């Protein structure tokens, strides 16, 4: 089988014969990965597994490119032959993952939640396994699958984890008069949080949580609530909101987005449900109180909050809006949207035992 890595830069990390050519190494390693045992255990000390790393140098406002040499050295210490591919443009990680899953069992997304989102698009409903090397800004999804902080994570968690199935959300939407669908792994935001994600993506001079706090304050200065019809398909029936003025609509597969905001405190990434948190229209002067509630996860039960677990969410917008999926921004979304859960549709490496 020919492995086509053309059209983008890639680094080959090898721990075998130093005089071996890169081309012969790629072929040998690819063939080995095709034939390798892809058992659902990630204990590298007992078995050899095929790993393929897709690294986004633009993650964390471009700071991730400084981690390439670190990753090469870390893999060499593990005596692990593998491939590291570097992305050069948006959506390239999706294409790389589509290629890699034909010859590798474990695809490691190296970046933030956006990089994970891109890789996820190619791995849902497949036998491939998603690994996470958190070198992005917020690294929200990583919080669901690890007991350690992203800042403390090396690469050892990738070899001391187990493969566990998790849910994903699928969004059907229309933007620029084109119908599309996309998966999200951690969170979906419409309205206020969609605008924040857009603003945060444009900020290059701040890092981590400060980026989202600054973006929040900038967006809040002139944001007006959106009007929408919403139907939530819950275990207890349909919850309908008709022509409701909504400040923010969040859907969580994971609990946290934008670093520290607990948009879905009761969410579990493998319970077969999506957690919906709707904040109805609020005054600008009341926003600081709500920020505190979302930071602490204490918004549930408030009269301005609708919180429910749903299998399906239907939304009808009355104006074009901005949404995000795992921080990936889509503008000018209009008309009707449908969001559905896809239970246990993705295999991930997790060092945390999921309930």
CB 144 within 8 A of CB 269: yes
Q: Per-residue pLDDT averaged across 310-322, rounded?
A: 97
pLDDT tens readout for residues 200-254: 888 888 877 788 889 999 999 999 999 999 999 999 999 999 999 999 999 999 9
Helix (H, G, I), strand (E, B) or coil at 133: strand
Domains and CATH numbers, the chain: 10-136 (3.40.50.10330), 169-343 (2.60.200.40)
Residue count of the chain: 355
Residue 42 confidence (pLDDT): 41
Q: Per-residue pLDDT averaged across 71-98, rounded?
A: 92
What is the percent of the chain with per-residue pLDDT over 70, rounded to a whole number? 86
Model confidence at 46: pLDDT above 50? no
Model confidence at 193: pLDDT above 50? yes
Rounding to the nearest 10 degrees, give the CA dihedral for residues 200, 203, 204, 205: -110
pLDDT tens readout for residues 119-129: 999 999 999 99
Residue 10 confidence (pLDDT): 52
Residue 186 confidence (pLDDT): 98
Model confidence at 9: pLDDT above 50? no
Model confidence at 20: pLDDT above 50? no
Residue 197 structure tokens: 């994600």
Mean pLDDT of the chain: 86
Helix (H, G, I), strand (E, B) or coil at 249: strand
Q: Name residues whose C-beta falls within 8 Å of residue 8's C-beta, 6 or more positions apart in sequence.
A: 85, 86, 87, 88, 92, 96
- Higher-confidence residue of 202 and 268: namely 268
- Higher-confidence residue of 309 and 176: namely 309
């Amino acid at each position: 089988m020919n492995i086509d890595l053309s059209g983008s830069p890639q680094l080959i990390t090898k721990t075998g014969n130093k005089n071996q050519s890169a081309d012969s190494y790629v072929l040998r390693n690819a063939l080995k990965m095709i034939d390798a045992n892809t058992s659902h255990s990630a204990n590298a000390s007992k078995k050899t597994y095929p790993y393929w790393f897709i690294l986004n140098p633009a993650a964390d406002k471009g700071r991730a490119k400084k981690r390439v040499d670190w990753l090469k050295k870390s893999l060499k210490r593990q005596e692990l032959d593998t491939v590291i591919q570097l992305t050069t443009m948006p959506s390239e990680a999706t294409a790389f993952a589509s290629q890699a899953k034909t010859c590798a069992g474990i695809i490691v997304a190296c970046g933030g939640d956006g990089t994970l989102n891109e890789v996820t698009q190619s791995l849902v409903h497949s036998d491939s396994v998603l690994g996470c090397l958190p070198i992005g800004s917020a690294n929200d999804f990583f919080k669901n699958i690890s007991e350690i902080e992203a800042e403390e994570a090396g690469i050892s968690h990738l070899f001391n984890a187990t493969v566990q199935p998790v849910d994903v959300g699928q969004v059907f939407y229309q933007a620029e008069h084109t119908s599309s669908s996309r998966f999200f792994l951690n969170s979906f935001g419409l309205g206020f949080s969609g605008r924040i994600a857009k603003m945060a993506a444009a900020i290059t001079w701040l890092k981590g949580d400060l980026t989202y706090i600054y973006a929040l304050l900038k967006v809040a200065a002139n944001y007006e609530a959106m009007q929408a019809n919403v139907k939530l398909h819950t275990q207890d029936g349909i919850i309908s909101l008709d022509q409701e003025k909504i400040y923010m609509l969040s859907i969580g597969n994971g609990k946290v987005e934008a670093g520290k905001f607990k948009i879905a405190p009761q969410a579990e990434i493998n319970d077969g449900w999506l957690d919906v948190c709707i904040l109805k229209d609020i005054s600008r002067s009341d926003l600081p109180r709500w920020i505190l509630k979302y930071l602490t996860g204490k918004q549930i039960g408030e009269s301005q909050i609708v919180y429910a677990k749903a299998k399906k969410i239907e939304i009808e917008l009355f104006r074009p809006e901005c949404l995000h999926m795992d921080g990936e921004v889509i503008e000018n979304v209009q008309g009707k949207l449908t969001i559905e859960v896809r239970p246990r549709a993705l295999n991930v490496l997790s060092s945390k035992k999921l309930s």
